[in-house]
Amino acid sequence: MESRMDGRVALITGASMGLGKAMALKFAGAGAKVALLARRPDVLAEAKAEVAKSGAKVEAYSCDVSDKAALEATWAKVVADFGQVDVLVNNAGASAAKPFESVTDAEWETDFAIKLWPAIRLCRLAFPGMKQRHWGRIINVLNTYAKTPGANTAPTSVSRAAGMALTKVLAGEGAPHNVLVNALLVGLIDSDQWMRRYKQNPGTNKSYREYLDEFAKARNLPIGRLGEAEEFANAACFLASDSGSYINGVAINVDGGMSPVV
């Protein structure tokens, strides 16, 4: 079975690197037109050039998604350039986890401003058009702590749990209009964040692959390794296409069996 997205327009936040770029590449390869949103213009330009090699229409928009006015203005530009948005992927945000008592008000506010509020605002902008066309897909990228928040995982576990609740609410409201809303929960997947961690340990004599393998072994990952960004993108493409036409309101773990709950 091949998951195709021919003629669809997909908007992805946090799209310049890591999982966001992997999804953009996968969507474009499946026939979609892609709008890339991220903050850094230089990295965005590199991602756009890479995605454009597929031959798909792709545009890049430098935008701080925590800025409401900037986000709304960028949405207007995307619609002007592409005509509509059929698939929305809320992917922006990096992990922030520490003991609860050490999390400041400013850190709570920043985490919600980057991870929860942009998803709320973009869904609010996307829903009317998707309902009118009787076709839409929204994917909220969360992590496994949304289901199983552990000690020392605030504020991310809290904002991601809120994102899972948002997913379920919207899934119920979108279902009568064929607007399907799901979440993909990230486990340990090789991405730019892991490379940055590796580079922050200049004293190590291990290769990057050895570093990842050692970490996977230490964490007792059931599948024995970290996931690949392309594997995550495969799941997203399935949900964003007509292949996933009867999947709605679920939070799917993409974690190689790491999560203790289904």
Q: What is the pLDDT of residue 33?
A: 98
pLDDT digit string, tens, across residues 159-182: 999 999 999 999 999 999 999 999
pLDDT digit string, tens, across residues 12-44: 999 999 999 999 999 999 999 999 999 999 999
Mean per-residue pLDDT of the chain:
95
| HSE-up (13 A, CA, CB side) for residue 189 | 26
Q: What is the pLDDT of residue 192?
A: 79
pLDDT digit string, tens, across residues 45-97: 999 999 999 999 999 999 999 999 999 999 999 999 999 999 999 999 988 99
Report residue 197's pLDDT band, with 50, 70 and 90 as the boundaries: confident
Query: What Å distances lie between residue 153 and 5, 105, 156, 179, 185, CA to CA?
Result: 36, 15, 6, 32, 15
Check if the beta carbon of residue 34 is closer than 8 Å to that of residue 7.
Answer: no
Check if the beta carbon of residue 23 is closer than 8 Å to that of residue 230.
Answer: no
Whether the pLDDT of residue 247 is over 80: the answer is yes
Q: What is the pLDDT of residue 162?
A: 98
Q: Is 133 left (phi over 0), alpha (psi -120 to 50) or beta?
A: alpha
Least confident of 18-32, 98-112, 179-193: 179-193
Q: Which CATH class is domain 9-188+229-253?
A: alpha beta
Q: What is the pLDDT of residue 215?
A: 85
Query: What Å distances lie between residue 112 and 93, 115, 148, CA to CA?
Result: 10, 5, 19
Whether the pLDDT of residue 242 is over 90: the answer is yes
Whether the pLDDT of residue 1 is over 90: the answer is no
Domain map (residue ranges) of the chain: 9-188+229-253, 191-225
Q: What is the pLDDT of residue 222?
A: 94
Q: What is the pLDDT of residue 35?
A: 98
With the CA atoms of 22, 24, 28 and 33 taken in that order, what torsion angle do they form, in degrees rounded to the nearest 10?
180
Q: What is the pLDDT of residue 179?
A: 98
Report residue 246's pLDDT band, with 50, 70 and 90 as the boundaries: very high
Whether the pLDDT of residue 203 is over 70: the answer is no
Report residue 144's pLDDT band, with 50, 70 and 90 as the boundaries: very high
Q: What is the pLDDT of residue 133?
A: 98
Report residue 206's pLDDT band, with 50, 70 and 90 as the boundaries: confident
Report residue 111's pLDDT band, with 50, 70 and 90 as the boundaries: very high
